[in-house]
Amino acid sequence: MATTHTREQRAQQTIRKIEKLAAETLAQIQASDNPTLQIPIRALSNVSWNEDRRLIELGDRRQSREFFNLNMAKKFMQTFLVAAACKELLKSGKTTSIRDLFYMTKHTIKGSRENTFDDQTESDPIIEDLEVTVDALREELHLFAAKRGSMVGPMTIVDAGDTINLARMGSGGWSIPSITENHVIQFKQCEAEYILLVEKEAVWHRLNEDKFWKKHKCILVTGNGQATRGVRRLLQRMHNELKIPLYVLVDNDPWGLYIFSVVKQGSISLAYESMRMAVPTARFLGLRTRDFKTFGLSDDVRIALEKEDENRARQMLSYPWFAAKHWQTEIKDMLKAGFKMEIEALSNKDISFVTDVYIPQKITKRDWLV
Amino acid sequence: MATTHTREQRAQQTIRKIEKLAAETLAQIQASDNPTLQIPIRALSNVSWNEDRRLIELGDRRQSREFFNLNMAKKFMQTFLVAAACKELLKSGKTTSIRDLFYMTKHTIKGSRENTFDDQTESDPIIEDLEVTVDALREELHLFAAKRGSMVGPMTIVDAGDTINLARMGSGGWSIPSITENHVIQFKQCEAEYILLVEKEAVWHRLNEDKFWKKHKCILVTGNGQATRGVRRLLQRMHNELKIPLYVLVDNDPWGLYIFSVVKQGSISLAYESMRMAVPTARFLGLRTRDFKTFGLSDDVRIALEKEDENRARQMLSYPWFAAKHWQTEIKDMLKAGFKMEIEALSNKDISFVTDVYIPQKITKRDWLV
């Protein structure tokens, strides 16, 4: 029952953090002070690039949220309402979606026509405020975002007490849950030598059908587009705990680069979680603009960059995490070529070209970017 | 090796259908006729409601597609291009996405600047044309659409040769593949007494975490929104082969009703596949407008119907499959009440209200619509 124990311990720890917040506020009230929360600012102005750790990090700046302040009283109340609901979840050992939490905490305030929350766009930022204020990830508050993504590979895991052999998952694979913390998912036997994250589900299917993961001993993951928090946390845990490298295969366009960069060093809006989610050593397998020539792809697969792509790419040139010369060259190559390509473009050569040639050649020749 | 055999037999059968199409066209050429394909029309004008079978069905009307016709020559060529690519897939035993097929068949026609296909919106309808013309489902042509949805329950399946115990799938569940035909998925031992399809992934998570499927012996499926073709085909196969009823739980809004109706009797645009996908006896568990009173829900969970919802609901009143009195009443109730509700609304009472009260009570009291 080690798992249950750990899970309960984790919950107790988070409950204590919430109770500490409440106790401090009560102390302010008893001292007849204006009850005030100090909430770290989650905005570009308080985000910085840590060159050494290669992570996007949240700074130290905080904002005050006061009870006796007409503009802040409602948010003050909402913060404690969300905190109370999370404590209830933690005590009952249940987890829920952020949509559900909105419904759990929404009600009309007695003797008024005012709602605690009018819609979810009000409760979501409060959750993020609580995360940074008590220093607990959303998952530690027993909340989760959408679930998406599948995984197979030569590896056995334990998920909520069930032992699952990921080498025997058929054509569908194991559905990656929203919460992949170590109190839910544990890694057992693993024969994989690396992790391969592919952006596109259809490419994952191709690689799974061709049993790529078996031949090349890798864990095959797709995020069905941008990797969810659950997928990112799982990638980081596998990378750290199993000590194997992570390769990422995305479309050759600014969105693909963005997906890669979030996996690698985190995002601006969730900078406070980079430490728990990012894999700074992630290796970029492509597609790259120069792959068009290297692999002799036909003109048919080129898609002209749109204005929006160009703007996005130019913006990326200014990000400190893309400041290294090889990234500047990569992005400028794309802009200069004026086209983008999807991973599926490789099927124009042969349906299993991605499996038989592209990925093995890239890895063998160490042809990746970090 | 029974599985492999069946799979190969199925592929051979489909190859013969494609070859028959080609042979007929060749015969026309040898007879110096204008080569012409007869393609069933996939439009509202050729769709009808079969009251006895309770299915939306495709009619008998066909359109000619001629080679010597300036407006049809390109589509004629495209049809055979797609057919040839599918034959190649079938011969190699591989399956692929419709996006991939687009890339496989896209090229510049020699000696011209004309592309075989300019984008996927051109190749997708050609695939559907081929499906109805040779009478083979997309999956039988070894093509698939997007994958989405998860499943758990007291049941063992075989997926692509791997035996998977769906009662031991942890918090994530088994990821439902795109192709769920019987040459890929076989059902082994099953202790489930019914199937429960829930629209929302978060609700599926709640039911899985509460181990609802264990206590109530059911197969728990989510389509993450509208059920994919893979999910629908799987639901129909489980319903028919395991001889257990299917319950559907969706939001209380026109979109929820639509999701239910597609599972139940098929859709207009894919009417030719209803027979292979629909479950005409599917039972509608709600949410229903009257649940608001029955379960004493609070005003907070009501969301005002938008203009679009109202239009959609009024349109539904005219569909023959909603002509029965109880459906007319149901839809009119929603319009009269003027609000919609999400399944998550039940969490306003208690986080496990859906698990502990709502579903069990509905099933015990046989409080569903068919």
Q: Is residue A246 part of a domain?
A: yes
Could you tell me the CA-to-CA distances from A32 to A25, A79, A278, B329 in Å, in that order? Answer: 11, 20, 43, 59
- How many of the other CB atoms lie within 10 Å of CB of A58? 21
Could you tell me the CA-to-CA distances from A314 to A128, A307, A328, B160 in Å, in that order? Answer: 30, 11, 10, 45
Are A226 and A345 members of one domain?
yes
Interface probe for A, chosen from B81, B90, B100 (most Cβ of A below 10 Å), is B100
Rounded CA separation A263/A49 (Å): 15
**Tokens describing residue A169:** 């998952």
Q: Do A146 and B201 touch (CB under 8 A)?
A: yes
Q: Is residue B114 part of a domain?
A: yes
- Residue B299, pLDDT score: 87
Distance from CA of B267 to the nearest CA of A (A): 24
Chain B hits for A108, CB-CB cut-off 8 Å, are: 298-300
A205 closest CA partner among B294, B9, B252, B145:
B145
77-96 in A: which are within 8 Å (CB) of B? 88-89, 92, 94-96
Rounded CA separation A93/A160 (Å): 12
A115 in B contact zone (CB under 8 Å):
yes
Rounded CA separation B295/A140 (Å): 32
Are A162 and A91 members of one domain?
no
- How many of the other CB atoms lie within 10 Å of CB of B233? 23
Distance from CA of A349 to the nearest CA of B (A): 7
AA letter at A131: E
B52 in A contact zone (CB under 8 Å):
no
- How many of the other CB atoms lie within 10 Å of CB of A233? 23
Q: How many CB pairs under 8 A join A and B?
A: 184
286-305 in A: which are within 8 Å (CB) of B? 298-301
Q: Do B164 and A160 touch (CB under 8 A)?
A: no
Distance from CA of A157 to the nearest CA of B (A): 10
Q: Is residue B45 part of a domain?
A: no
Q: Where are the alpha helices (DSSP H) in A180-290?
A: 201-209, 212-215, 229-242, 254-265, 274-277
Tell me the pLDDT band of B5, cut-offs 50, 70 and 90.
Answer: low
Which of A157, A172, A202 is nearest residue B97 as measured by Cβ atoms? A202
Are B139 and B244 members of one domain?
no
B150 in A contact zone (CB under 8 Å):
yes
Q: Is residue B192 part of a domain?
A: yes
Report cis status (omega within 30 of 0) of the bond before A287: yes
Which of A146, A175, A352 is nearest residue B172 as measured by Cβ atoms? A175
Question: What are the contacts of B254-259 at 24+ separation with CB within 8 A?
Answer: B254/B309, B254/B312, B254/B313, B254/B316, B254/B334, B254/B340, B255/B312, B256/B199, B256/B287, B257/B313, B257/B316, B257/B322, B257/B330, B257/B331, B258/B226, B258/B312, B258/B316, B259/B199, B259/B223, B259/B225, B259/B226, B259/B227
Domain boundary among A144, A161, A191: A144
Percent of all residues in chain B with a pLDDT value above 90, rounded to a whole number? 72
5-24 in B: which are within 8 Å (CB) of A? none
Report cis status (omega within 30 of 0) of the bond before B287: yes
- Residue A348, pLDDT score: 86
Chain A hits for B174, CB-CB cut-off 8 Å, are: 169, 172-175
Are B273 and B352 members of one domain?
yes
Which of B157, B169, B171 is nearest residue A184 as measured by Cβ atoms? B171
Distance from CA of B142 to the nearest CA of A (A): 12
| Inter-residue contact B203 to B344 (CB < 8 Å) | yes
**Tokens describing residue B241:** 């082969």
Q: Do B97 and A160 touch (CB under 8 A)?
A: no
Which of B161, B172, B300 is nearest residue A176 as measured by Cβ atoms? B172
Q: Is residue B41 part of a domain?
A: no
B164 in A contact zone (CB under 8 Å):
yes
Could you tell me the CA-to-CA distances from A259 to A95, A199, A233, A358, A366 in Å, in that order? Answer: 27, 8, 14, 20, 21
AA letter at B136: A
| Inter-residue contact A237 to A211 (CB < 8 Å) | no
Tens of pLDDT, residue by residue over B215-263, are 999 999 999 889 999 999 999 999 999 999 999 999 999 999 999 999 9
Rounded CA separation B5/A309 (Å): 48
Residue of A nearest to B114 (CA): A300
pLDDT in tens, chain A (370 residues): 344 457 788 899 999 999 999 999 999 999 999 999 999 998 888 888 898 989 999 899 999 999 999 999 999 999 999 999 999 999 998 999 998 899 889 888 878 878 899 888 999 999 999 999 999 989 999 998 878 899 999 999 999 999 999 999 999 999 999 899 988 999 999 999 999 999 999 899 999 999 999 999 999 999 988 999 999 999 999 999 999 999 999 999 999 999 999 999 998 878 888 888 999 999 999 899 999 999 999 888 888 899 999 999 999 999 989 999 999 999 999 999 999 999 989 988 888 999 999 999 999 999 999 9
A347 in B contact zone (CB under 8 Å):
yes
Q: Do B108 and A300 touch (CB under 8 A)?
A: yes
Are A168 and A225 members of one domain?
yes
B205 in A contact zone (CB under 8 Å):
yes
Are B280 and B354 members of one domain?
yes
Are B220 and B268 members of one domain?
yes
Rounded CA separation B296/B290 (Å): 10
Task: Check pLDDT > 60 for residue B177.
Answer: yes
Q: Is residue A46 part of a domain?
A: no
- Residue A2, pLDDT score: 42
Give the full edge-to-edge strand order of the sheet including A155-159: A162-165, A155-159, A185-190
Tens of pLDDT, residue by residue over B37-63, are 999 998 888 888 898 988 999 899 999
Rounded CA separation A346/A287 (Å): 9
**Tokens describing residue A80:** 């404690």
A27 closest CA partner among A16, A37, A12:
A37
Rounded CA separation A48/A202 (Å): 36
Residue with tokens 């979810």: A120
| Inter-residue contact A280 to B87 (CB < 8 Å) | no
Tens of pLDDT, residue by residue over B261-304, are 999 999 887 888 888 899 999 999 989 999 999 999 988 888 88
Domain boundary among B123, B144, B165: B144
Rounded CA separation B105/B78 (Å): 9
| Inter-residue contact A338 to A305 (CB < 8 Å) | yes
| Inter-residue contact A255 to A172 (CB < 8 Å) | no
Q: Across the strands, what pairs with A247?
A: A196, A283
Q: Is residue B57 part of a domain?
A: no
- Residue B348, pLDDT score: 86
Q: How many residues does chain B have?
A: 370
Chain A hits for B160, CB-CB cut-off 8 Å, are: 170-171
Q: Do A172 and B173 touch (CB under 8 A)?
A: no
The torsion defined by the Cα of B179, B181, B182 and B184, in degrees rounded to 10, comes to -20
Query: In Å, how far from its chain's centre is CA B213?
Result: 23
Chain B hits for A95, CB-CB cut-off 8 Å, are: 205, 209
A152 closest CA partner among A202, A228, A191, A208:
A208
In chain B, how many domains are there?
Answer: 2
Distance from CA of B323 to the nearest CA of A (A): 34
Rounded CA separation A283/A344 (Å): 20
Handedness of CA A149, A154, A158, A163 (dihedral sign): positive
**Tokens describing residue A74:** 């409602």
Are B126 and B161 members of one domain?
no
Percent of all residues in chain B with a pLDDT value above 70, rounded to a whole number? 99
Are B180 and B79 members of one domain?
no
Residue of A nearest to B147 (CA): A201
Q: Where are the alpha helices (DSSP H) in chain A?
A: 2-30, 73-92, 98-105, 120-134, 201-209, 212-215, 229-242, 254-265, 274-277, 291-294, 307-317, 325-337, 353, 359-364
Question: Is A103 marked active-site?
Answer: yes
- Residue B280, pLDDT score: 95
User: Residue B157: helix, strand or coil by DSSP?
Assistant: strand
Q: Is residue B341 part of a domain?
A: yes
Identify the DSSP state of B343. G
Q: Do B106 and A176 touch (CB under 8 A)?
A: no
Structural domain span for residue A348: 150-364
Rounded CA separation B360/B216 (Å): 8
Rounded CA separation A10/A16 (Å): 10
Residue of B nearest to A93 (CA): B209
CATH assignment at residue A93? 1.10.10.10
From B103, B247, B258, B319, active-site residue = B103
Q: Which helix (H) or strand (E) holds A247?
A: strand A246-249
Q: Do B150 and A175 touch (CB under 8 A)?
A: yes
> Are β-strands A218-222 and A194-198 bridged in parallel, bridged antiparallel, or unpaired?
parallel
Chain A hits for B187, CB-CB cut-off 8 Å, are: none
Strands annotated E in chain B: 36-40, 47-50, 55-58, 62-66, 96-97, 143-144, 150-152, 155-159, 162-165, 174-175, 185-190, 194-198, 218-222, 246-249, 283-286, 303-304, 339-340
**Tokens describing residue B96:** 């692929």
B206 closest CA partner among A162, A147, A259:
A147
- Residue A1, pLDDT score: 37
Are A204 and A104 members of one domain?
no
Chain A hits for B146, CB-CB cut-off 8 Å, are: 201
B203 closest CA partner among B250, B247, B166:
B250
Q: Do B351 and A92 touch (CB under 8 A)?
A: yes
Chain B hits for A92, CB-CB cut-off 8 Å, are: 351
Are A14 and A157 members of one domain?
no
Could you tell me the CA-to-CA distances from B72 to B64, B65, B79, B114 in Å, in that order? Answer: 9, 6, 11, 15
A316 in B contact zone (CB under 8 Å):
no
B156 in A contact zone (CB under 8 Å):
no
Q: Do A300 and B106 touch (CB under 8 A)?
A: yes
* Helix A201-209 vs helix B98-105: crossing angle, to nearest 10: 80
- Residue A268, pLDDT score: 81
- Residue A112, pLDDT score: 80
**Tokens describing residue B138:** 């997309």
Q: Which helix (H) or strand (E) holds A196?
A: strand A194-198
B228 in A contact zone (CB under 8 Å):
no
Are B80 and B101 members of one domain?
yes
Looking at this predicted complex, what is its ipTM?
Answer: 0.80
Task: Check pLDDT > 60 for residue B2.
Answer: no
**Who's near A110: CB < 8 A, 6+ residues apart?**
none
Identify the DSSP state of B62. E
Domain boundary among B84, B114, B144: B144
CATH assignment at residue B189? 3.40.1360.10
**Who's near A68: CB < 8 A, 6+ residues apart?**
A34, A35
